[in-house]
A and B are shown apart, each in its own frame.
Chain A
Amino acid sequence: MATTAKNMKGFYKQTKSNITGGISKSKPSSRKVSPKHAATQGSDATQPAALISHGSLDVKDGYDEKEEMLRQFDMNMAYGPCVGMTRVDRWERALRLGMNPPYEIQRLLKTEKVQQDCLWQGRV
Chain B
Amino acid sequence: MKKTLTFVDKVPKVENFFLSLSLLSRNFPAMASMEIDSEKTHERKQSDYTCLQDERFEIQKEMYRGQQYSQIYFARLHLMRTLLYSLAPSWKPHLPVCKVLGLEEGKECIIVGTLFKHMKLKPCVLDEYSKERSVTPLVKPRNFMHPDDSLILEDESGRVKLGGSALSPAVYVTGVVVALHGKETSAGEFVVEDVLEAGLPPQLERPLDHLKEDKYVLLVSGLSIGSNSSNPLLFQLLVDHITGHVSDDEELGLAAQIVHVVIAGNSVEFPRKLLTGQNMASKDQSTLYEPIKELDIMLNQIAAGVSVDIMPGLNDPANFALPQQPLNRCLFPGSAPYNTFRSCTNPHSFDVDNIRFLGTSGQNIDDLDKYSEAESKLDFVERTLRWRHLAPTAPNTLGCYPFTDRDPFLIETCPHVYFVGNQDKYDSRLVKGSEGQLVRLICIPKFCETGVAVAVNLKNLECHTRSFNIQL
Q: Indicate if the CB atoms of A86 and B65 lie closer than 8 Å.
A: yes
Report, nearest first, the 5 A-B pairs whose CB atoms are least far apart. A84-B67, A80-B74, A93-B405, A81-B70, A84-B66
In the complex, which residue of chain B has the Cβ closest to the Cβ of A80? B74
Interchain CB contact (< 8 A) of B156 among A77, A85, A86: A77
Q: Does A89 contact B (CB under 8 A)?
A: yes
Q: List 29 contacting pairs A-B, 8 Å CB cutoff, sorted by A.
A: A77-B156, A77-B157, A78-B156, A80-B71, A80-B74, A80-B75, A80-B78, A81-B68, A81-B71, A81-B74, A83-B68, A84-B65, A84-B67, A84-B68, A84-B70, A84-B71, A84-B402, A84-B404, A85-B65, A85-B71, A86-B65, A89-B65, A89-B404, A89-B405, A93-B75, A97-B75, A97-B79, A97-B405, A98-B82
B156 touches A93 (CB 8 A): no
Given A84-B404, A85-B67, 14 other A-B residues pairs in contact with their CB atoms under 8 A = A77-B157, A78-B156, A80-B70, A83-B67, A84-B65, A84-B402, A85-B65, A86-B65, A89-B65, A89-B405, A93-B75, A96-B405, A97-B78, A97-B405
Contact with B along A59-80 (1 / 0, CB 8 A): 0000000000000000001101
Roughly how many angstroms separate A82 CA and B215 CA in the complex, as a whole number? 50
- Cα A77 to Cα B78 in complex, Å, equals 12
A89 surroundings in chain B (CB, below 8 A): 65, 404-405
How far, in whole Å, are A17 and B78 apart by their CA atoms in the complex?
A: 55
A-contacting residues, B378-408, CB 8 Å:
402, 404-405
Which residues on the A side are within 8 Å of B74 (C-beta)?
A: 80-81
CB distance from A10 to the nearest CB of B (A): 42
Contacts of B75 in A (CB 8 A): 80, 93, 97
Instruction: Tally inter-chain residue pairs, CB-CB below 8 A.
Output: 41
Query: Which residues of the other chain, A, contact B82 by a CB distance below 8 angstroms?
Result: 98
Which residues of B sit under 8 angstroms from A84, Cβ to Cβ? 65-68, 70-71, 402, 404
Give Cα A83–Cα B74 distance, bound, in whole angstroms: 12
Determine the distance from Cα of A97 to Cα of B78 in the docked complex, in whole angstroms.
Answer: 8
The distance in angstroms between the C-alpha atoms of A96 and B75, with both chains bound, is 11
Our pick among A77, A78, A93, A98 for the contact of B404 (Cβ within 8 Å) is A93
CB distance from A99 to the nearest CB of B (A): 8
Interchain nearest-CB distance for B156 vs A (Å): 6
Specify the chain A residue showing the minimal Cβ separation from B77: A80
Bound-state Cα–Cα, A89 to B67, Å: 12
B79 nearest in chain A by CB position: A97
Quick one: CB contact mask for B234-270 with A, threshold 8 Å, 1 for yes? 0000000000000000000000000000000000000
A96 to B404 Cα, complex, angstroms: 12
Q: Which residue of A lies closest to B404 (CB)?
A: A85
Which residues of chain B in 302-338 are interfacial with respect to chain A, using CB atoms and an 8 Å cutoff? none
Determine the distance from Cα of A89 to Cα of B71 in the docked complex, in whole angstroms. Answer: 12
